[in-house]
Amino acid sequence: MKVFVAGGTGALGHRVVRDLAAAGHEVTATARRDDWAAYLKGLGAWPVDVDLFDTAAIRSAVAGQDAVLRLTTKIPPLAQMRRTESWIETGRLRNDGARLLVDASIVEGVGTYVHESIAFVYADGGDAWIDESSPLDVAKARPLREAITGEANATRFTKWGGRGVVLRFAGFYAGDSAQSLEMADMARRRRTALIGPSRNYFSSIHIDDAASAVIACLQAPPGVYNVADDEPLELCDFMRSMAEAAGAKPPRKLPAFLGPTVLGEVWSYLSRSLRVKSDRLRAATGWAPDVPSAREGWRRIAAEWAAAGGTAR
C-alpha cells in the first residue's frame, strides 16, 4: 500500500513508519526537521515537510495514497498538563488538522483514513470492562471534547464512501517516550504521587503495540476500536511498576481534594477507573499486544535502561 503518515516523527508515528516500511509498504511521512527527515529516510520512508493547516499542501501530500494516518499530537509535558493553554496545539491538530486531512483525502480519492484518539473519553466504569459501546463523559475537559469532535471526521470519511477508522488508545508508555522518561525522572526525585483513589483501573498500551494496532487496522472495517493491553492495572500497581523500573521508591499518596489543584481539568479524567478492553479490534484483525500488561512492560523497560547504562536519563 501507499501510506501517508501525518505525525511521522512522534512517539507513535515513527514506530508506525518503521513497521510499515519493514513490511514493504511505500511510506510518505511528515518531518519538520532535517534530522528527523534523515531518520525517516533511514527507515525506508519518504519524508515531506508539510504544513498540516495548508489545504493545497495537504492535497499534494495525500494525492495517490491508499491510506492516510492521522497520528499528530502535541501532548504537553506532565508538569504543564494542568494549564489549559498547553492543549491548544493538540486541539488544533485533532480538529482543524483532521478536518483538512479528511477533506483532502476525499478530494483525492484516498480509500482509508485512520484517526488517533484516546480511551480517556469513557465515563468511569469502576470494575466493569469498557468496550466501544460504553458511555462517554467528555463535558468537564476540553481535551476530551476536542477528541470526540476530531473523531467525527473519520465518520464523515466513511459516510463519503471511504473506510474511516478511529483508534481509542489507552495510556502510552515506552522506554524512549518523553512522558515515560519524565515520569521516571520525577519518581526518582520523589515528585510523583498517587492522588485520590489508587485502586482505580488505569488502562495502558506499550507504544510498540500501539503501532502494530495501527497497521492491523488498515484491514479493519470502518468504525471505532479500543486499543489497550490484556491486563489493565490498578493505578497503584501501574505507578509502582514505573517507579521500580526507574529505581525509585513507590509514589506517595495524596488526598483526592488536591487533584484539581495539581492537575487542573485533566484530573476529571485521570481520576476515573477505566478498565478498557480491545476485543473488537482482536476480532476484526487478529491483533494482540506483545506486552500483556504494564507490569511486564515496565520490567522490559527497566532492562532496556540497564542495558543502556542505567535508569532513565
The two most distant CA atoms of the chain are separated, in Å, by: 54
Counting beta carbons within 10 angstroms of the beta carbon of residue 192, is it exposed (0 to 12), middle (13 to 18) or buried (19 or more)? buried
Asked if residues 172 and 11 have their Cβ atoms less than 8 Å apart, the reply is yes
User: DSSP 3-state assignment of 88?
Assistant: helix
Alpha carbon distance 261, 277 (integer Å): 31
- Residue range 169-218, pLDDT digits in tens: 999 999 999 999 999 999 999 988 888 788 999 999 999 999 999 999 99
Predicted local distance difference test score (pLDDT) of residue 313: 40
Residues 233, 158 contacting (CB under 8 angstroms): no
Domains of the chain are: 2-307 (3.40.50.720)
For residues 119 and 262, give the distance between their C-alpha atoms in angstroms, rounded to a whole number. Answer: 22
Rounded CA gap, 165 and 69, in Å? 9
Confidence of residue 263 (pLDDT cuts 50, 70, 90): confident
User: What's the chain's Rg over C-alpha atoms?
Assistant: 19
Cell of 139: 463535558
Q: What is the pLDDT of residues 63-121, one digit of tens each?
A: 999 999 999 987 766 676 667 776 677 778 888 999 999 999 999 999 999 999 999 99
| C-alpha count within 13 angstroms, C-beta hemisphere, residue 191 | 10
pLDDT class of 59 with cuts at 50, 70, 90? very high
The whole-angstrom separation of Cα 279 and Cα 7 is 27
Coil, strand, or helix at residue 162?
A: coil
